[in-house]
Structure 1
């Protein structure tokens, strides 16, 4: 576009200066004074800048960047572009009355556009692009009647597009892109009949596209991308036969694409309609435009097949139809790719995340040798990856993730010497990782996660001297970690080797990863000591070494990693004391040292003073001080940091009730004796904490009783669940929650701090459980819009996804990671609480069950009391509670989270349910099931794959709520799929090349 503008500028300026002989005698003094004033407000980076040549003793015609008319000796052109100037534009520039061209682009100028620009009535070319200018466009700029080019691109200009711009009768280029202009596009712009180029992209313009723009019969370039335009495209726009480039991407436009668009716009070279809601099929006539270079229709609602004609586009450079609903079927469903071999200039090809099916043709290597980016993942692609893919020598990006391709990774990929990004995640690849991948020395990102790869990590990976991130997680890799991968100088984003079968020790060479932000080696079989040298990883924010076999002491050098936010060393065999320096972490959000063999004194300062950030359970020999205090008060204080011995003993005793009579339901225990022996906090203390159970402190009420906010004497805010003793099963609910919470600890489960079994002031029985306080209420309140962020906004897509993953993580933990699987039996949004960081925590275990074996469950209650709408259908036929039942409840919660509809919504009548309603409308009518609060978010400034991610989320919800328990996916599978969705949204490429793809 800039080349096109400059070409027009040259045409305008060559030979167009007016005859100035009549003013030859005029003095140039006023021009010099104006330029000196301009210079006084400019700051240059270098003392040897071009402005340093502006000697006041010389004529301005001799100054750098200043051009004068030879006859009149007046300044007619000022070119100070790309000089890194800062400062503002002096209003005295309006005194350069003979100025015809002003070029100040590509600097760092600030301030407002001077009103005095209106005095430059001879001005023909004005370019102030790529600065930081603010304010509005002066309306009197319309007095510059001779203006041919007005380029204000990429500034911070606000307000409306002035109607007065339409007064320009000779304007050929109007470029206002990448600003903050708002309101509507003035229909009066159609009056500028001379206009050749109109760029209003990347602003905040709303409403519909004026049909009057079609009156611009000379217009060749129209860019309205990245605005808030709505409605359908006026049919007259499609009849602008002069158009060479038409870009409407990243708006909220809808309607079918005309089938004859290639006939009505015969001169098109570039067509960009990405990120909208266009429907219909890909117009076949587009494939008849033999000169077209760019076809971009990604992220719409297009369906049908790819029309014929792809072989007729020899000049095609970009073909992007990703993230639609384009279909193909059968083994040969991808054979259309062979037709693109005629497009020898093809640089960018994206067909990802559609409904395409088939096997990658062996002829894939015949595609353009200048192809740099190839997105094909997110389709139903099976079979193997053809070795011929190694013939695409120009590839810089290859993304085949999220498919069903199987077999080994072809060693021929190692021939792609230009490759920078390799994505083969979440497929069915097996076998060993080819050593030849080490030849990819320009690689900066590699993702082979979530496959079935085995064998060792190739030592040739040490050749990745430009690598920024590596993800080999969730495979079957074994052997030791090669020392070579710890010598990658540019590794800075993350190193993820988690969920494999890696053995051996953690090499001391880890110290060379000075710039890496995240290291995740969890869930392996790494043994030995944690190297002291890890303290040299000064950029670390997350260190995850959980569930390995590390032994020895925690390195005190970790205290040197000041930016650490998450440190998880849980479930290892670490011993010794906790390094005191850990309490000095200012940024730490989670410290998990649980289930090790640590001993000695627990630090009390810094992060250890916040019980919500520290997990130390499962370390039996830890104590608050060297004497391991035993007093009642100090024991309770210890618990605020970890689960105290008294609570653990209490809940263990209660838990025994569930095991004594295996498989026969809950035994009747001697509750009176238990109550007398294990009173942990008194009724009076709770009464004081709640100001005598004051109504203002009541934060919730249900059939179980009431929940109050309280402040303990230690200054800890808590939530106190007071059970309704008139309810017959209140004691059993109390026992159930204690039994479940006695030995579990997870960041997504509400933490039980202490309990109370006493009598109240009326001498009546009193039972209460004291939990950590959750300041952001429950998930149901957020779904219903009763709670919002301070800016008035509700939950966005990523918020909801993070919440869904948090809940799934908790349920997966209950099902698969506890000593005895636990069923929640009452999953629903109101039982998901949110802390100050919006971390979801599952609570209310009053109906929970402990599974003793695969055949039976020990129940905390004699009858199931779930919640209507969330209870799985088989429970109504007398089936025992099961893991699949929890999965069903979770699926309903997930659908509710993204639809905003309760399963008991009054609209669900006559056998209709939330699940059935979603199935009927999905995926064709995504908008009909999506929470209206998310509609505005579905704009193209969001990740380009968001719609497909939403579709995947709904599919997960449907898979969880299958009527047949046997056909439901597991909680672990649901969690893995949701994490994959999150990866897709988070791993959007933000290099300049990918920005080009998106916008």
Structure 2
């Protein structure tokens, strides 16, 4: 064969060579074309492509235009210079982008502005950004960047604005930042920065704004900040700062906004404070430890719109001349020690008359003592909130109060005000909440109150009001709660008062001098959950129409003169939890239908009931019922100590039975008795308790019964385990009923004490939103061991914790479901705090102690740490032991403060925030000073609540037009949680107000869904 003859392989090699050559020519040509197309800016083009390649999620298609069909200078968010066609702006703010920030952005050498605000970029900030020496604005706010701040940002020598707020940055602020000599705005709020506020920042004399709130810096405020003569805005709230405010700060005469709130700063303010800072528009020093007088020179800050100094220890006479603060909108001085006992102590109110724009005035709990000035009525007609509660104010409420036509909330409770309630109060057409309780108001309730067409809550209790209740109050058709208890009101109950379709929170006329019958119109209160008419002189029969109150849970009509039998129609009121009919003249037999109610408390004592006492339902628990003072009763539980009921004597018949019939009856009876004896004997041998009825299991359950119910306390039935107890699911053989069995670990320190405490608590509480206990709290010895257990009703839907954090549930809770659950929990707390005697503090409120039944109704359980707040109780709040669970326990408990209802409110606030965000309060991101409270507070301030809300919470069906309403509801809910979880107990929202706000949110959501609004989720009290 000719060696020069071409082979197949040589042809292949030649083809490959030619193809490679063509490819090189093509690539070269393409590069030439590309270079021509991008005018030599291929580096910028590649940097932008790298930026896009590291984006993992682009929900709004913000980068859709970033393709080869369009020049990169025309891409969305990109701006190029007109002369050199280089990228000078990259702005993709609020596009929902997720991913990493490409380090190749550092190659955009002409970049002037980089704005990535409000996205989900994560991991570290690339140090390559330090190459951008032309950069003037760097805004990475509201992302998820972590790690430390790059120290080579000093290479951005022309930087004027640096915003890193609301991320997860840690460590110290690097000293290299001080080399940014052109910097005017520096924002680092809402991170986890530590190491103190660096003093070298005082060298950046160009700074106009420093914003570092909600970082766990610690330390003191550097004195060097006094060098920042151009500073206008200064925010260091929530930074764990201690010490005093450096005097040099007061030399920053250009300051307009000055906030050091929520720290531990001490010392006093200089007397010439206002003269030194005359440009201030906002001053926030709330929640510190500042002392001394509030400088009168604050009146020189004539541009002030916000003055917030609550929860400090300012003392002495308040002498600020507010008349010069003509632009002021918000004054909050509550919870201080201003009282001076001087006759003209309240004269400062006169100077507020010139503040025509004032919207909110909070002067509660300030130790003010003196006459309430008449000039109170000359305050701004823009004033919506006026709170002077918990002071020592006396004198009359001026007629001029009617001038405050902008008021929506008026709180004068817990003072010493006297005289009549002025009729001019009827002019306050916008008033929604009026709290005048615990004063000494006298005279009649003015008819003019009926003109308050917007009123939702009216509380006039514990005064000296007399006369009749005006029937015109029936015109207040939006009324949700009415409390007139503990006055001297007489006459009949107006029937017009009993037709409120809106009344849901409560209706309390107790401790007055009311007489006459209870009008049949009472059935019109279909939404109300709480009625208290006790301690009056009401007569006649209980009207059968009362059964129309189908939402009623609590009915107290004791200590009246009611008579006759209980109407059979009350059988429909199966939602009752507590019923007190004691100290009346009721007669007849105790209705059997009460056995079918879910009553926790039933008081029938001191009436004239007769006949046999039932033994089922509530009657099976001797501690839940009271029947003393009814001499004609018999039977019932042995514990009641009543005589046995006599058998009715049979009438004598003239016709005698045949002898064989009598013999047959006797034989049959003997046979039945023998069978019964045999069955009882067999039960005893099996170790079962000899019960005459199934319902006695509410009092006695043996170890063997529980052992069998839980399959030997098997692991498969274990549904929870803690330090002092294990919880099992069980099935009682007696009636095939599922129960929850809590077995105490008695070897654990404090377990026995907690068991006793929980037993004590369960004997005192009865509420539909509290977990129902089935057994009495008793111990059973087994083989020489002390065995203690509590048996509860079984909650089929498990705990709230599981719904929030576990994957066991296929579906998640939507917004409306969460609101309903929160209302249930708040209602239970309201009952414990305000309706139990003595008051009970739960002390361990958290999602794992909230259980949900078949209807997703929430029940509060686990009273192992509960405390009673009555001195003569053997379990009051003086314990120094465990005070709750980390993350949920209020901060004051850590400093040795005694248990109080405000502590439960704090726990509720944290629980609410967890319900809405889906984050544990002990989540990894909450450390070094950042808490769930601060996390949400910042989101509210930044109007970015969607970023913190659990995504499942906003699955509520709503059209685009309703999206804004839903977001407003979300914000309102978070505000409740933030208010309830304030560090200072006195600043926390009271639980009654929380319930009211949650019901309002629920109404809005139900309207959005097109359902009929309901003002009460099964129980409000």
Q: 2:581 aligns with which of 595, 612, 631?
A: 595
Deviations 1:392-436 (A, max 9, x none): 224333221111112222221221233333222222223333232
Would you say the 8 A contact 2:600–2:766 is kept in 1? no
Would you say the 8 A contact 2:621–2:699 is kept in 1? no
Give me the whole-angstrom Cα distance separating, in 1, the residues matched to 2:99 and 2:188: 19
Would you say the 8 A contact 2:47–2:108 is kept in 1? no
1:242 equivalent in alignment to 2:230: yes
Residues 127-526 of structure 1 mapped to structure 2, 5 A cutoff:
127-130=115-118, 137-155=125-143, 157-263=145-251, 265-289=252-276, 290-328=278-316, 333-334=317-318, 336-337=319-320, 339-358=321-340, 359-361=345-347, 363-393=350-380, 394-455=382-443, 457-461=445-449, 463-464=451-452, 469-477=457-465, 479-480=468-469, 487=476, 504-505=493-494, 507=496, 510=499, 512-513=501-502, 518-521=505-508, 523=510
Instruction: Call closer, same or farther: CA 1:768–1:266 in 2, change over 3 Å.
Output: closer
Aligned to 1:552: 543
Would you say the 8 A contact 1:681–1:755 is kept in 2? no
Aligned to 2:704: 688
Give me the whole-angstrom Cα distance separating, in 2, the residues matched to 1:288 and 1:162: 40
Shift of 1:111: 2.2
Give me the whole-angstrom Cα distance separating, in 2, the residues matched to 1:167 and 1:647: 92
Shift of 1:759: 13
Aligned to 2:519: 528
Would you say the 8 A contact 1:462–1:488 is kept in 2? no
Instruction: Call closer, same or farther: CA 1:757–1:135 in 2, change over 3 Å.
Output: closer
Instruction: Call closer, same or farther: CA 1:945–1:399 in 2, change over 3 Å.
Output: farther
Would you say the 8 A contact 1:303–1:327 is kept in 2? yes
Instruction: Call closer, same or farther: CA 1:447–1:40 in 2, change over 3 Å.
Output: same
Deviations 1:518-548 (A, max 9, x none): 344363668324655444x5xxxx7211345
Shift of 1:379: 1.3
Give me the whole-angstrom Cα distance separating, in 2, the residues matched to 1:652 and 1:808: 29
Instruction: Call closer, same or farther: CA 1:468–1:149 in 2, change over 3 Å.
Output: farther
**How many pairs are equivalent?**
736
Residues 814-853 of structure 1 mapped to structure 2, 5 A cutoff:
none
Give me the whole-angstrom Cα distance separating, in 2, the residues matched to 1:465 and 1:61: 60
Give me the whole-angstrom Cα distance separating, in 2, the residues matched to 1:451 and 1:32: 75
Shift of 1:222: 0.6
Give me the whole-angstrom Cα distance separating, in 1, the residues matched to 2:982 and 2:401: 31
Shift of 1:175: 1.9
Give me the whole-angstrom Cα distance separating, in 2, the residues matched to 1:990 and 1:26: 63
Secondary structure at the counterpart of residue 651 of structure 1: helix
Aligned to 1:85: none
1:569 equivalent in alignment to 2:555: yes
Give me the whole-angstrom Cα distance separating, in 2, the residues matched to 1:472 and 1:326: 31
Aligned to 1:852: none
Give me the whole-angstrom Cα distance separating, in 1, the residues matched to 2:866 and 2:308: 49
Would you say the 8 A contact 2:832–2:839 is kept in 1? no
Instruction: Call closer, same or farther: CA 1:582–1:192 in 2, change over 3 Å.
Output: farther
Q: CA RMSD in A?
A: 6.5
Secondary structure at the counterpart of residue 437 of structure 1: helix
Deviations 1:652-684 (A, max 9, x none): 32999xxxxxxxxxxxxxxxxxx9999967999
Secondary structure at the counterpart of residue 430 of structure 1: strand
Deviations 1:185-204 (A, max 9, x none): 44443332221111122334
Give me the whole-angstrom Cα distance separating, in 2, the residues matched to 1:935 and 1:985: 30
Give me the whole-angstrom Cα distance separating, in 2, the residues matched to 1:348 and 1:251: 24
Instruction: Call closer, same or farther: CA 1:158–1:948 in 2, change over 3 Å.
Output: closer
Instruction: Call closer, same or farther: CA 1:152–1:692 in 2, change over 3 Å.
Output: closer
Shift of 1:474: 4.2
Give me the whole-angstrom Cα distance separating, in 1, the residues matched to 2:188 and 2:604: 61
Would you say the 8 A contact 1:643–1:753 is kept in 2? no
1:100 equivalent in alignment to 2:92: no
- Higher-Rg structure is 2
Secondary structure at the counterpart of residue 413 of structure 1: helix
Deviations 1:75-123 (A, max 9, x none): xxxxxxxxxxxxxxxxxxxxxxx33234444x46242354264454333
Q: Which runs of 5+ in 2 are unaligned?
A: 1-34, 628-633, 645-688, 715-724, 745-755, 796-803, 807-824, 852-858, 886-892, 899-921, 938-976, 1001-1021
Secondary structure at the counterpart of residue 383 of structure 2: coil
Q: 1:543 aligns with which of 511, 517, 529?
A: 529
Q: 2:96 aligns with which of 109, 112, 136?
A: 109
Instruction: Call closer, same or farther: CA 1:696–1:380 in 2, change over 3 Å.
Output: same
Deviations 1:17-38 (A, max 9, x none): xxxxx99984999989989999
Give me the whole-angstrom Cα distance separating, in 1, the residues matched to 2:309 and 2:240: 17
Would you say the 8 A contact 1:508–1:534 is kept in 2? no
Would you say the 8 A contact 2:498–2:523 is kept in 1? no
Shift of 1:324: 0.9
Give me the whole-angstrom Cα distance separating, in 2, the residues matched to 1:228 and 1:506: 59
Q: Out of 437-446 and 936-945, give the one that drifted further.
A: 936-945
Shift of 1:172: 0.9
Secondary structure at the counterpart of residue 406 of structure 2: coil
Give me the whole-angstrom Cα distance separating, in 1, the residues matched to 2:431 and 2:330: 18
Shift of 1:171: 1.4
Would you say the 8 A contact 1:262–1:285 is kept in 2? no
Aligned to 1:652: 640
Instruction: Call closer, same or farther: CA 1:205–1:531 in 2, change over 3 Å.
Output: farther
Would you say the 8 A contact 1:741–1:752 is kept in 2? no
Give me the whole-angstrom Cα distance separating, in 2, the residues matched to 1:687 and 1:517: 44
Secondary structure at the counterpart of residue 434 of structure 2: strand
Secondary structure at the counterpart of residue 876 of structure 2: helix
Give me the whole-angstrom Cα distance separating, in 2, the residues matched to 1:62 and 1:189: 34
Secondary structure at the counterpart of residue 292 of structure 2: coil
Instruction: Call closer, same or farther: CA 1:546–1:26 in 2, change over 3 Å.
Output: same
Would you say the 8 A contact 1:390–1:416 is kept in 2? yes
Secondary structure at the counterpart of residue 178 of structure 2: helix
Would you say the 8 A contact 1:522–1:544 is kept in 2? no
Instruction: Call closer, same or farther: CA 1:528–1:167 in 2, change over 3 Å.
Output: farther
Would you say the 8 A contact 1:578–1:602 is kept in 2? no
